[in-house]
Amino acid sequence: MTLYLVKRLTVLLASTVVAAVAVFAFMALLPGDPAEIALGVNATPEAVAELRRQFGTDRPPVVQFLDWFGGLAQGDFGTSYVTSAPIGPQISDRLGVTLVLVLGGMAVALVLAVPLGTFAAVHHRNPIGAAISAASQLGIAIPAFLAGILLVFVFAVQAQALPSGGYVPIADDPGEWLRSLLLPWLSLGLVQGAVLTRYVRSAVLDVMREDYLRTARAKGRGSTGALWRHGLRNAAVPVVTVLGLQLATLLIGAVVVERVFVIPGLGDLLLNGVAGRDLLLVQGVVMVLVAAVLLINFVVDVTYHLLDPRLR
């Protein structure tokens, strides 16, 4: 197990370096000079050259990358081209909000998907099981932002039970903090829960056809008891893989949902940076998102290894 962890950590670090190179190269290829954008069209060549020197964009690309990546290793994301404010504190402040949003959405998805998917598999020949399967298929076709708009119309506009947008920090008012996040959690969780329900149903169906489950039932265990004791752990192996992909999808989907509900997370910061042509800020946020996806994949690989003893 230790050797496996060392190998996976090595792959994680190598993937992070490759991702950093790709993000830096992509941002460098974008048209537009940050110094010219910051000074405007009437800036003199001397002023542009001086600002390039201050930004460090007059140096060779390799030197710029090494300086930026070395700063990342120390938690320094540089200084914004537009506001001249440090980027690291902005990202750390917004990251906590996005993580709460993503984890809450995944909790909603799991609460819905695990029991509904299992029930749909056990009762796959019944009308109720077929109805759950059809409803999950419909949920897959609805984007998270559209689900958010529909939820706002129902619960905020019509029922006036929940706020339509905005964010209240938990330190200011825990109750309002929860109310401000309920609709965003539901908009993310309902869509991802529909996707996950399909995978849980498929995994449980596969397990129910295995010989060892038939043997457990033949020894006197009921269908539910045999599935609970012997089947769910094996069914969880492929579901965990999908769960990792779903987490990555939730992280990216939160970018749009934050905009819909006016939540000050990483997605809102990213879109503001794009609108203001703050390329270094955009570069830092994209790198954080990419690193988060790589870390999720690493955790999924380790969890998969722990769940399936055949891999050990």
Q: How many domains would you assign to the chain? A: 2
Contact at 8 Å (CB) between 116 and 133?
no
79: three-class secondary structure by DSSP: strand
What is the extent of the structural domain holding 38?
2-86
Same domain, 56 and 103: no
Q: What is the pLDDT of residues 193-213, one digit of tens each?
A: 888 888 888 877 777 666 666
Same domain, 40 and 123: no
Could you give the CA distance from residue 303 to residue 312 in angstroms, rounded to a whole number?
12
Same domain, 151 and 258: yes
Average pLDDT score over residue span 151-180: 87
Which 8-state DSSP code applies to residue 228?
I
Contact at 8 Å (CB) between 80 and 280?
yes
Side-chain-facing half-sphere of 261: CA atoms under 13 Å: 37
Same domain, 67 and 101: no
Average pLDDT, the chain: 82
Same domain, 234 and 104: yes
Q: What is the pTM of this model?
A: 0.80
Same domain, 23 and 162: no
Could you give the CA distance from residue 43 to residue 65 in angstroms, rounded to a whole number?
27
pLDDT at 14: 92
pLDDT at 311: 60
pLDDT at 18: 92
Which 8-state DSSP code applies to residue 31?
S
Average pLDDT score over residue span 78-96: 87
Weakest-pLDDT range from 49-53, 76-80, 106-110: 49-53
- Point out the domain boundary residue: 50, 69, 86: 86
Same domain, 152 and 265: yes
Q: What is the pLDDT of residues 236-268, one digit of tens each?
A: 667 777 777 778 778 877 888 888 888 888 888
pLDDT at 170: 87
119: three-class secondary structure by DSSP: helix
